[in-house]
Amino acid sequence: MVEGPRLYNSLTRREEKFVPAHDDDVRFFVCGQTVYDDAHLGHAKSYVNFDVVVRWLRCRGYKVRYIQNITDVDDKIIARAKERGEEPVALARRYEERFLEDMERIGVRKNVDMYPRSHDYIKQIAEQIGLLVKKGYAYSIGQDIYFDVAKFKDYTKLSGMKLEELEKHRIEAKEGKRHAYDFALWKEAKEEEPSWKIAVEENGVEKKFVGRPGWHIEDTAMSVSIFGEQYDLHGGARELIFPHHTNEIAQAEAAYGKRPFVKYWIHSGILSVNGEKMSKSLGNFITIREILKDYSSETLRLFVCSTQYAKDIDYNERAMSEAKKRLAYINSSLSIFYNAKELEEDKESDIGHITEGLWKEFRAAMDGDFNTPLALSSIIRAVEKLRAYAEMKGGVGKLEKEHALSRVLECASVLGLLEDGVYRKSIPKEASALIKERERLRSVKDFGKADAIRTELKAKYNIGIEDSEYGTVWYYV
């Protein structure tokens, strides 16, 4: 049993110590992608946020089973397929493949144990709906089946909303619904839409329903069949609290009678673009594919990690340029340390203190509700000290170097940084001398010559430089 980190639980609205139900075995579910279009920057934020959570829990010794669903039966998929004259399944498979490629590129896919698809859980969905109807929590209208919200008294416990408020939200209108806020568990399929036939017993009579599942029931059918009726941790973007997560709780707790369905709920903040909500109509919709043409995946991850997961973040050129500079600073500092001359074991070394300090600060930051900006600062401070030490001593003891590197890399890999090995590349002595000369020229305001050096560095050594809050940072272009 490991001592747990603390996290903000949306369900109890307070920070709590994380204690999974079965010792160090953690079951973690995050709402995944509805595959009808390419994943955008908002998705990148959310999936990187939860990827860091899972990486940190694993680093702390938990055995985490991490699942993200793929919604491949949905109104949006059907509508898009119709627009394009394509089969919904074909469209969904294509976008799923592209989504998984994107997740691979941003370092998320390798940490997800399973991406179950709704298509493969129709039987479990039918069973769960059957249970809800049998227990009187759901009712049918023709070929549709609805959840009877008024029957489940804790319906608003996650959102904290008032039941009357819910009526104001956009809810599908349907003749015969008991309340406006009752939501669909099963929908009658229209012509040419994908459909399945299920049998459900209602009032002692077995009835056949031809249609497709509602969105919310997919997640609980999957998580219950994979994890059981209760599990530890559920994540998703904040806008999913209502209705999606609210409905998940209602379905699972009503069907199985075990509370809480999930012990800890964590929600990621919203990503805006240049201060505006990202939307197709504003034309500021940026896909992960597009962003990776201009920035490395680690730059994107560093940008996301520069804000704590639950906070909102604004994407803009300046923020991305800052992220790029910070990453270059970490890489270039670590490169100097990594490539420093190896000395005999150094008994007077300060390296041990630096790495101990790093681990202490990093752990405190991550244990405090996954505070990645603080964690990132602790890495930056550590590589800065390591570099300064190597420069001052003209080298580093072999063992100290190995130990320090493994600690820095361990911390960085929790954020998904320094995995591309860029720090291993050293900078030629001549290039390093040119950078120093350029700094001198700038200090005497000889910008013309300074710029000529920048051009020379790029042409001769393929090295780009930037002036940052940390001084000059270099990187290979």
Judged by the rule CB under 5 A, the positions of this chain that interact with Zn ion are: 31, 219
SS (H, E, C) 156-195: CCCCCCCHHHHCCCCCCCCCCCCCCCCEEEEEECCCCCCC
- State which residue, 107 or 116, has the beta carbon closest to Zn ion: 116
Residue closer to Zn ion (CB basis): 219 or 298:
219
Beta strands in 190-251 (DSSP E): 196-202, 205-213, 231-237
d(CA 383, CA 264): 35
Give the integer Cα–Cα distance in Å for 146 and 133: 9
The smaller minimum CB distance to Zn ion, of residues 121 and 475, is found at 121
Query: What is the C-alpha to C-alpha distance for residues 158 and 160, in angstroms, rounded to an integer?
Result: 6
Which is nearer to Zn ion, 232 or 367 (by Cβ)?
232
Joined together, the tokens standing for residue 376 give 């990132």
Helices (H), 316-474: 317-338, 351-367, 372-393, 398-415, 429-443, 447-461
CB of 218 to Zn ion, least distance (A): 7
Rounding to the nearest 10 degrees, give the CA dihedral for residues 393, 395, 398, 400: 40
Q: How far is the CB of 310 from Zn ion (least distance, A)?
A: 18
Looking at the Cβ atoms of 73 and 457, the one nearer to Zn ion is 73
What DSSP element (H or E) covers 8? Answer: strand 6-9
Identify which of residues 221 and 427 has a Cβ nearer to Zn ion in the complex: 221
CB of 252 to Zn ion, least distance (A): 12
Q: Which is nearer to Zn ion, 31 or 78 (CB)?
A: 31
Q: Least distance (Å) from Zn ion to the CB of residue 219? A: 4
The Cα 307–Cα 295 span in angstroms is 18
Measured distance between the N- and C-terminal CA atoms of the chain, rounded to whole angstroms: 46
Q: How far apart are CA 180 and CA 213, in angstroms?
A: 19
**Closest by CA position to 413, among listed 17, 58, 39:** 58
Q: Residue 246 or residue 355: which is nearer to Zn ion going by CB? A: 246
Residue pointed to by tokens 């490169």: 335
- Can you name the residues that pair with 209 across neighbouring β-strands? 198
- Rounded distance between C-alpha atoms, residue 3 and residue 160, angstroms: 30
How many residues in total does the chain contain? 477
Nearer Cβ to Zn ion (31/463): 31
CB of 266 to Zn ion, least distance (A): 13
CA angle 426, 333, 434 (to 5 degrees): 60
The residue whose two tokens read 């001052």 is 392
Partnered with residue 472 across adjacent β-strands are: 467
In whole angstroms, the minimum distance from the beta carbon of 232 to Zn ion comes to: 16
The residue nearest Zn ion at its CB is 31
Q: Please, what is the minimum distance in Å from the beta carbon of residue 255 to Zn ion? A: 16
Minimum CB–partner distance for residue 159 and Zn ion (Å): 15
Cβ 13 to Zn ion shortest distance, Å? 21
